[in-house]
């Protein structure tokens, strides 16, 4: 499980984001990585009880590499300043909408999921579904439990009206979204708590109806 040393390693890495420092502190990295892997194992074990298609998923397939892809980035820092994982059937490359966990110091750890960088076809399907049956999605994301746990939304909106819809549409604000990703923040104190894995699992259970909605819309009806 993550400890204060795990978070401290990530803070040190952010301040010394270069290969020389990383190699000199390789053992610290391996220890911190092992603590994150143990956390992910507990989370995946718990999620498999509520989502059958995760039963045969391996932890190592859920965890993202700490190395950054800097080929097309102005920021040439070689390493991420966080540990992250996606829990989906088969791991992070499930091709579906998965639970995403990020462990980052200074109270920046998050759990979330949702529509992010959708294809034009998926975005059109999302808007069409809202137009035809807004109550389904709103019944999920406007529940008090959901809104209290996931108060943060990450997602750009179109500046003008989405094509085919007018400004007086009753759900125009939902239709404007190009992404709709909900997330919950954890404090460092919560991350290093003994029950953190269970906290994440409970958060995933709250988020699951929204992810199921998207996966059914995008993939299950194809």
Which of 196, 209, 215, 207 is closest to 43 using CA atoms?
A: 196
The residue to which tokens 């019944």 are assigned: 139
Listed as ranges, residues in the chain with pLDDT below 50 are: none
Note the pTM of the prediction, 2 decimals: 0.95
Question: Per the structure, how many domains does the chain have?
Answer: 1
Burial (CB count <10 Å: 0-12, 13-18, 19+), residue 51: buried
The confidence score (pLDDT) of residue 2 equals: 94
pLDDT of residue 222: 54
Tokens of 66: 């700490």
Predicted local distance difference test score (pLDDT) of residue 130 = 96
- Looking at residue 74, its pLDDT comes to 83
Half-sphere exposure of 162 (CA within 13 A, CB side): 22
Q: What is the pLDDT of residue 202?
A: 98
Position 220 scores a pLDDT of: 83
pLDDT for residue 126: 97
Burial of 153 from C-beta contacts in 10 A (0-12 / 13-18 / 19+): middle
Q: What's the pLDDT at 71?
A: 83
Q: What is the pLDDT of residue 75?
A: 86
Domain encompassing residue 209: 4-220
Q: What confidence tens digit (pLDDT) does each residue in 34-52 have?
A: 999 999 999 999 999 999 9
């Amino acid at each position: 499980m993550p400890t204060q040393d795990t978070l401290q390693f990530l803070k040190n890495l952010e301040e010394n984001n270069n290969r020389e420092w990383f190699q000199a502190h390789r053992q610290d990295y391996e220890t911190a990585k092992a603590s994150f892997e143990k956390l992910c194992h507990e989370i995946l074990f718990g999620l498999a009880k509520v989502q059958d298609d995760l039963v045969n998923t391996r932890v190592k397939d859920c965890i993202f590499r700490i190395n950054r892809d800097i080929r097309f980035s102005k920021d040439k820092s070689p390493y991420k300043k966080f540990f992250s994982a996606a829990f989906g059937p088969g791991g992070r490359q499930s091709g579906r909408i998965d639970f995403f966990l990020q462990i980052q110091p200074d109270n920046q750890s998050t759990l979330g999921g949702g529509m992010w960088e959708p294809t034009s076809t998926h975005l059109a399907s999302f808007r069409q579904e809202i137009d035809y049956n807004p109550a389904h999605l709103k019944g999920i994301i406007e529940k008090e439990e959901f809104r209290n746990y996931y108060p943060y939304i990450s997602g750009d909106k179109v500046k003008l009206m989405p094509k085919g819809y007018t400004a007086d549409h009753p759900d125009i604000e939902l239709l404007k979204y190009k992404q709709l990703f909900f997330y919950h923040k954890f404090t460092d104190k919560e991350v290093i708590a003994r029950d953190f894995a269970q906290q994440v699992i409970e958060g995933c259970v709250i988020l699951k109806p929204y992810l199921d909605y998207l996966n059914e819309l995008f993939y299950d009806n194809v």
